[in-house]
Amino acid sequence: MKLSKRIITMSLLLFVIPACATVPFSGRSQLDLIPQQTMLATSFSQYDEFLKQNKISSDKQKTEQVRNVGRRIQAAVEDYFREKNMTSVISGYSWEFNLVENDEINAWCMPGGKVVVYSGILPITKNDGGLAVVMGHEIAHAVAKHGNERMSQALMAQLGGVALNVAMQDKPAETRMLWTAAYGAGTQVGVLLPFSRLHESEADQLGLIFMAMAGYDPETAVDFWSRMASKQGGKTMPEFLSTHPSDDTRISKIKAMLPEAKKYYKKRN
């Protein structure tokens, strides 16, 4: 029995040790057990399934706003990784931006640039700049592979470290639930796996750079997160805040990040 446990442990270590990636910008090593091709194929499938089960907004003006801001952030992300000679990070991406009718204060981005913004967050974003803060931040989570990291950790902890395609075949319901939790594509409080403070800091920093490169003033982020923080005063914490802590400490850190982000600011006429 002890020998069997030792063999299993050694097998898991051999599986995990080479399965590491590096977070863009910060250089931090992270657990990444899922091949990019498998991740993207699953992402595209899950995204399409989500859109079938949720109401896409019929508001043409707001939908176009989401897509316009999204396309500008997309271009900034592509420029950023091209300049860093790191285009492999977003290889195979098939960008898509959709506004969904839902009162939840939420937004998320799956691997491959599959973005959803909930209509409930628009009264807080208020304008293109506020929306750029949200979309830049969520896209930063995706390109930094924070969801991949959480999914890998969940596969290890709950499904014994099996491959994603095996998990989808053998335990589809459980795996879909893990996927939803890992990438924030849920609408019920308590379903999502919280991002760590480290993840949030990395997404804040990259998101500010992306929005600045897209031509949005990164200082807008301070006003947006201040509005989000005010939402914590109510009895129910908004879904967006359940995984995105918004407080004075965070805002202070964002202010400290602004000088670096402004180096990338490409003001548009």
Mind telling me the catalytic residues?
A: 138
Q: Which residues of 168-206 are buried (b: 16+ CB within 10 A; e: fewer)?
A: beeeeeebbebbbbbbbbbbeeeebbebeeebbbbbbbb
**Phi, psi (deg, nearest 5) at residue 95:** -60, 140
**DSSP string covering 103-148:** -S--EEEETTTEEEEEGGGHHHH-SHHHHHHHHHHHHHHHHTTHHH
Name the maximum alpha-carbon separation found in the chain: 70
Residue 149 identity: E
Q: Which two tokens stand for residue 235?
A: 């009895």
Q: Which of 50, 11, 16 lies closest to 34, judged by CA?
A: 16
3-state secondary structure of 180: helix
